[in-house]
Amino acid sequence: MAANWGITGSARIDRQQLFTGLELTLEPGWTCLMGPSGAGKSTLLRLLAGLETSATFEGTIRRPDRIGWMGQTDLMQPRLTVAQNVTLMARLAARPHDPVRTESILRSVGLAGFGPRRPETLSGGQRQRVALARTLIEDAPLILLDEPFSALDPANRAAMQELAYAQLAGRTVLLVTHDPAEALRLGTHLFMLAQGGLATVPALAPPHPRDSSDLELALAAGQILTRIRQSS
């Protein structure tokens, strides 16, 4: 249940107003946030997560106690094994962690048997799968994703979108992305942050994730790209 999670308010960095009077309430499922570079998307996501930002924020933030986070970099600790990286948050918080569950989650992201390996032996795509496993193991109801697939090659990106969509079923997900096609594949609620405000963008009808070769998706992605370029 998404208990009215979201953000209402205004934010600025020094004299630069990022957004004013913004109201975002997250519905269950996938919400995608797009917009020109520098509009404040990452800042908004970090505010929602309770992470440090350079922004001065006035307003209210409604979020659950536990939040899952996945960014563009996998933040893996090179000296730890894959399994130790997946359970890092539990280790830091001195919470118990179950090796059987860790292996089961690794299997669910296509990394069965990878637990003892070191991060340097993994490809970029495999490292993002570890990052997804680390997000899944926390079992948070709200998941915030900041461009997690953008550094991957197109085939891996499409595979990760589908994997994340399947594995995060039932959660409330907010994805920040530069890629209109990614937003259209995954999102049931799409928004654009531009010129200090939030605008609704029409989403495609279910089923999601949409096929990446979908013609309707390609056309809509082109239109959104034009809109982003016009507002930057």
Ligand X SMILES: Nc1ncnc2c1ncn2[C@@H]1O[C@H](COP(=O)(O)OP(=O)(O)OP(=O)(O)O)[C@@H](O)[C@H]1O
| Residues 51-80, mask of contacts with ligand X (x by CB under 6 A) | ---x--------------------------
Cα–Cα distance for residue pair 173/189, rounded to 1 Å? 10
Q: Which residue has the tokens 């563009």?
A: 72
Using N-to-C axis directions, what is the helix angle for 124-137 and 154-167, rounded to 10°? 10
Residue 43 in the binding site for ligand X (CB under 6 A): yes
Residue 17 in the binding site for ligand X (CB under 6 A): no
Cα–Cα distance for residue pair 227/232, rounded to 1 Å? 9
Nearest CB to ligand X, comparing residues 54 and 123? 54
**38-46, 86-94, 179-187, 217-225 -> range binding ligand X (CB under 6 A):** 38-46
Q: Find the binder of ligand X among 30, 32, 41, 210 (CB under 6 A).
A: 41
**34-42, 76-84, 99-107, 133-141 -> range binding ligand X (CB under 6 A):** 34-42
Cα–Cα distance for residue pair 180/34, rounded to 1 Å? 7
Nearest CB to ligand X, comparing residues 17 and 25? 17
Minimum CB separation of residue 58 from ligand X in Å reads 16
Torsion region of 6: left, alpha or beta (phi above 0 gives left; psi -120 to 50 gives alpha): left
For residue 201, give the H/E element and its range. Answer: strand 197-201
Q: Find the binder of ligand X among 5, 7, 12, 18 (CB under 6 A).
A: 18
Q: Which residue has the tokens 């997690």?
A: 148
Q: Find the binder of ligand X among 20, 23, 38, 124 (CB under 6 A).
A: 38
Residue 134 in the binding site for ligand X (CB under 6 A): no
Phi, psi of 25 (to 5 degrees): -115, 130
| Residues 158-197, mask of contacts with ligand X (x by CB under 6 A) | --------------------x-------------------
Cα–Cα distance for residue pair 77/91, rounded to 1 Å? 13
Minimum CB separation of residue 38 from ligand X in Å reads 4
Q: Please, what's the b/e burial string for 83-93 (b: 16 or more CB within 10 A of its CB; e: otherwise)?
A: bbbbbbbbeee
Residues that bind ligand X in the complex, under the rule CB under 6 A: 13, 18, 35, 37-43, 54, 178
